[in-house]
C-alpha cells in the first residue's frame, strides 16, 4: 500500500502519463494505416485486362520455343510468367491496374501507347530487346516499380 501512495516515482517521471497516452496513440495510428488499394475504375480495369491479354499472347507467340537463351533453372519460371492466367494475375496486382503511384490519366495513356507500339513490333525486335527503347514502355515500367 505504501508503494501506491508514495508519489516520489511520479516526481521523477512527471510526464509518464503523457508519454503513455502518446505511445498508445502512435500504436493505434500504426495499426489503423491501410495500404492504398487504388481506384476502383471498372472500365479501366476491363480495358487494361484486355490490353494485357493481347500483350501476354504476343509475348507467348514471340517466345523462344526452344528456350535456348534461358538458363535451365529459369525455364519453368519463365513459362509460368507467360501463362495467360499468371500474366493476368500479376497485372491485377500491379500499380497500373489499380491506378496507383502516378496520375491515373498518365498511367492509362502510357500503357495504351506502350501496348500499341509493342503490338506493332516484330518478334525479332521484341527478342532483341527493342521494347526497352520505347519511351512509353520505359515510363510504364517506372510506374510499375
Taking each continuous run of H as one helix and of E as one strand, the counts in the chain are: 10, 0
Q: Is a pLDDT exceeding 80 seen at residue 31?
A: no
Whether residue 144 contacts residue 94, with contact meaning beta carbons closer than 8 Å, is answered with yes
> How far, in Å, CA of 132 to CA of 122, rounded?
14
Least confident range from 40-44, 67-71, 132-136: namely 67-71
- Whether pLDDT at 46 is above 50: yes
- Confidence band for 32, pLDDT divided at 50, 70 and 90: low
More confident residue, 112 or 91: 112
pTM to 2 decimal places: 0.65
* Alpha-carbon span 55 to 63, nearest angstrom: 12
pLDDT in tens, 65-93: 655 666 666 566 666 667 777 888 888 88
CA distance 128 to 140: 19
Average pLDDT in the 118-136 region? Answer: 89
Q: Is the pLDDT of residue 98 over 80?
A: yes
The residue with cell 508519489 is 7
- CA dist 107 and 112 (Å) reads 9
Amino acid at each position: 500500500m505504501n508503494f501506491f501512495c508514495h508519489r516520489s516515482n511520479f516526481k521523477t517521471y512527471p510526464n509518464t502519463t503523457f508519454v503513455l497516452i502518446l505511445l498508445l496513440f502512435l500504436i493505434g495510428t500504426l495499426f489503423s494505416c491501410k495500404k492504398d488499394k487504388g481506384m476502383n475504375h471498372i472500365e479501366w480495369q476491363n480495358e487494361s485486362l484486355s490490353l494485357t491479354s493481347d500483350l501476354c499472347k504476343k509475348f507467348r507467340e514471340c517466345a523462344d520455343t526452344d528456350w535456348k537463351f534461358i538458363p535451365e533453372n529459369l525455364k519453368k519460371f519463365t513459362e509460368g510468367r507467360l501463362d495467360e492466367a499468371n500474366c493476368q494475375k500479376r497485372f491485377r496486382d500491379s500499380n497500373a491496374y489499380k491506378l496507383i503511384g502516378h496520375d491515373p490519366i498518365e498511367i492509362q495513356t502510357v500503357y495504351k501507347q506502350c501496348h500499341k507500339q509493342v503490338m506493332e513490333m516484330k518478334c525479332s525486335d521484341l527478342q532483341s530487346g527493342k521494347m526497352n527503347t520505347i519511351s512509353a514502355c520505359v515510363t510504364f515500367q517506372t510506374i510499375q516499380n
